[in-house]
Structure 1
Amino acid sequence: MSYLGKYLKMPPTFEMLQNLEEVIEKEGYSLGDLSLCLQVEFSPYEMTPYDVIPFANIGCDGIHYGFLTDFGMVSDLENAFIVCISPMDFDAPIKIVARNIREFVSLVCTMKDATTISNINLIKEEEQYISLFKELKKEIDEENEEQANYVVEKIRSTIGCKIIENVYNYVEKEIMTAREQQTILSTLDGIGIVSLGSMNRKHIKYKLEKDMEIKLEDVKSFFNSATTESKLAFIRDAQFTYIISDKIELKEWIINEMVKLGLNDEAGRLMKI
């Protein structure tokens, strides 16, 4: 699993899901009954953040879930925030949906459908969550629900996850608050940048927006005096606005800068996109 980089292997909860999949498949069920397809290969999209390691997808529209490593700052993938990437949702393709993989599994069990979780990317108000759950109840198919309930109970008994009583409160308040407490710079994708220890230095942002024309020389000048956190914020925003993928010269330069910062794993992922 070279795409895992320094992490070498998937965390325990992922391995438990893999083992469970083998067991329930013999009984005629699958995690796919919850639209949860585990993946052990790096299948990047232009919108997949370079410091996100995908571990599951829903089997359509390129929607996938991954571990947010914060450019390698996370020491254990078991404790990494979980990000939903929905490439076709151009206005809101990325959102943090869980505090860690165990809570992500709890969210899947609560929603009984990993596909539905991707809808969270597009909403943030409590009324929208209420409407989403009302629509879900209307679309319930008895046969599919029976299969989903069986798989959910198997997951809960195996992993010990809980049902989330208030999904809106969990995602929009608990998760967002926890993330905001970690970050010192905001980014266009909503993920932000955590502190890397650049004490007593001012973090300045290079303001970017979609379809913006930038000069490589200006970016180089910015990097000459920017903190590491500011550089990473630029990289996030430049990816989110497709500036990196649209400009080959900038992409090659960014790869070299990432290597200088010791971000070999992330640079390797960028090279594959």
Structure 2
Amino acid sequence: MNRLNYYGKYSVPETVRQLWEFEEELRQDGYSLDLDLGLIMTKEDIRYMSTPPDVIPFASCGVDGIHYGFLTDFGMVPDLEQAYIVSVSPMNFDQEVWLVASNIHNFLRVVFTENSMLYNYFSGVEQYISHQRHREQEEIEERIVRAKHKLQQRFSLEPMADMGDYLVRLEQKRQAEVVFPTRYLSGIIQTSSACEHQRLMIDAVKDGPDPEDVEFFFMNASVESRLAFIRDAQSKHLLDRPQLRESVIKGMVDMGLADEAERLNRSYDYQEQTIEISDKNEIASIVWYTDDSTND
């Protein structure tokens, strides 16, 4: 299976397909990728209101809706094998999204070495060290040790020598690439030749800006500015307003982000409605969701 619908333009990465195979190998040997290694592989689009539209989920941990996905940087990543991996925790209202690996191979190294950062957000290395210091020492079951050994052999994994240092280097790497910050650490990378970026304020009004202001902003702001607004508006849960979400989705399609627009729609559970949007090159038909009983 090279493609899944929700992957959009991307093929399923080779490592994900190998994990599907490895899951079956473990099962035949009496082990479980879920129970022994904390990974539940998925072929469905796990998506909550906090799941960024440029994140493609591939696994979850089975607790509190926490899931892991490839950060495509709005389609700029050429190969998902090299995409950052993020953790999305819908119940962690202070920080719902954070980086956990620079690519899927390093993600598996984290799974093998010490996986607490996959379901806990640490604002810095000091917090991680404090968490580990106060964490109850649990004896690791022999079957988990054996399952980890199988994972290590199957994917040629080197353990992380220092998880605190790894956290620091991961953040430094990402921040060196970001040209416009957003509420969550992922930020926006350079996607155009623009040198100046603007921010549409979303905190001045409780429910966010008017849809008309968003449409004007999308017509005049840099690409990076628009992408930052999408991230921040979603992270502030402003896009549950149907009219505001409609303006954002139309703007995304006009930017050539039809895959991301469809993913954003799937984050909201509303009445289904089809909208046709035309541009110079083609007519794009996307699905968005509106609640006719909601008054903005």
When normalised by structure 1's length, the TM-score is 0.91
Indicate the residue corresponding to 1:256 in structure 2.
250
Aligned residue number for residue 161 of structure 2: 165
- Residue number in structure 1 paired with 2:125: 126
The aligned amino acid for 1:159 is F
- What residue ranges of structure 2 are gaps of 5+ in the alignment? 268-296
Matches within 5 A, 1:14-29: 14-29=16-31
Q: Residue 152 of structure 1: which of 135, 148, 152 is its match?
A: 148
> Given that residues 211 and 241 in structure 1 are in contact (C-alpha distance below 8 angstroms), is that contact kept between their aligned partners in structure 2?
no
Q: Distance in 1 between matches of 2:112 and 2:82?
A: 19
- 2:57–2:67 contact (8 Å) kept in structure 1: yes
Q: Which amino acid aligns with 1:13?
A: T
Measured at CA, do residues 253 and 125 of structure 1 come closer, stay the same or move farther in structure 2, by a change above 3 Å?
closer
Q: Which residue number in structure 2 is paired with residue 4 of structure 1?
A: 7
* Aligned equivalents of 1:211, 1:28: Cα separation in 2: 53
Cα contact 1:108–1:117 (8 A) shared by 2: no
Are the counterparts in 2 of residues 198 and 227 from structure 1 also a CA contact under 8 Å?
no
**Whole-Å Cα distance in 1 between the matches of residues 123 and 224 of structure 2?**
27
Conservation of the 8 A alpha-carbon contact between 1:198 and 1:228: no
Task: Name the amino acid aligned to 1:103.
Answer: N
Q: C-alpha separation between the residues in 2 aligned to 1:188 and 1:70?
A: 15
1:186 equivalent in structure 2: 181
* TM-score, normalised by the number of residues in structure 2: 0.84
Moved more, 161-170 or 201-210: 201-210
**Unmatched tracts of structure 1, length 5 or more:** none
Instruction: State the alpha-carbon separation in 2 of the partners of residues 163 and 250 from structure 1.
Output: 46
Distance 2:187 2:200 in 1: 14
Note if contact 2:202-2:208 (Cα within 8 Å) is conserved in structure 1.
Answer: no
Comparing 206-215 with 78-87, greater Cα deviation is found at: 206-215
Distance 2:146 2:206 in 1: 48
CA deviation vs aligned residue, 1:36-57 (integer Å, no higher than 9, x gap): 1111110210000000000010
What is the rounded CA distance, in whole Å, between the counterparts of 1:229 and 1:45 in structure 2? 24
| Structure 2 residue matching 1:243: 3-state secondary structure | coil
The answer (yes or no) to whether the contact 1:84–1:95 under 8 Å persists in 2 is yes
Aligned mate of 1:85, from 83, 88, 108: 88
Equivalent runs, 1:86-235 vs 2, <5 Å: 86-111=89-114, 113=115, 116-121=116-121, 123-138=122-137, 140-142=138-140, 145-171=141-167, 173-199=168-194, 201-209=195-203, 211-235=206-230
Q: Look up the equivalent residue of 1:183 and give its one-letter code.
A: V
Two-structure CA RMSD over aligned residues (Å): 1.6
Correspondence for 1:236: 231
- Runs of 4+ aligned residues of structure 1 deviating over 4 Å after TM superposition are none
Closer, same or farther: CA 235–125 of 1 in aligned 2, 3 Å:
closer
- Measured in 1, the distance between the counterparts of 2:220 and 2:124 equals 39
Does residue 64 (structure 1) correspond to residue 55 (structure 2)? The answer is no
Q: Relative to structure 1, is the Cα distance of residues 50 and 167 closer, same or farther in structure 2, using a 3 angstrom cutoff?
A: same
**2:214 and 2:247 in contact (8 A); partners too:** no
Q: C-alpha distance in 2, partners of 1:261/1:59?
A: 35
**C-alpha distance in 2 between matches for 1:218 and 1:17:** 45
Higher strand share: 2
- The alignment of Structure 1 onto Structure 2 pairs a total of residues equal to 262
